[in-house]
Amino acid sequence: MLARNTAHPRRQMIDDQVDQLELADVLVADGHDHAILGLVELQNGVFVVAYSTKEILEGLVRDGMSYDEAQEYFDFNIKGAYVGPSTPVYIEDQHFEQYV
């Protein structure tokens, strides 16, 4: 569940959207508010939080992991953590800049 009165602006954006849409079951990846991209409605009408894979990896590297360690940690502990239909989604945007 979302904790209210958080400081990060991206998390506040999600909190505001959840309130506006009167949603109850939206889950977040703890410690990665800086990587939030927005709220996504899946085809089944469930809303989930979308994260930037690139920004999560950059945050893990800033916290002291090598890039390879960060990728392994992300794949297993974050992306691989299914907690039900409200599990966040992760946008694979690591190499997006090369196409812009």
26 Rama sector, left if φ>0, alpha if ψ -120 to 50, beta otherwise: beta
Residue-wise pLDDT for 87-100, tens only, equals 999 999 876 555 44
pLDDT score of 10 more than 90: yes
22 Rama sector, left if φ>0, alpha if ψ -120 to 50, beta otherwise: left
Q: Write down the pLDDT at residue 18.
A: 93
Q: Write down the pLDDT at residue 43.
A: 87
Q: Write down the pLDDT at residue 1.
A: 45
pTM: 0.85
Q: Write down the pLDDT at residue 25.
A: 73
Residue-wise pLDDT for 11-64, tens only, equals 999 999 999 999 987 899 999 999 999 999 998 889 999 999 999 999 999 999
Phi and psi at 77, nearest 5°, equal -95, -20
Residue 65 CB neighbours (<10 A): 16
Q: Where are the domains of the chain?
A: 9-94
Residue-wise pLDDT for 71-85, tens only, equals 999 999 999 999 998
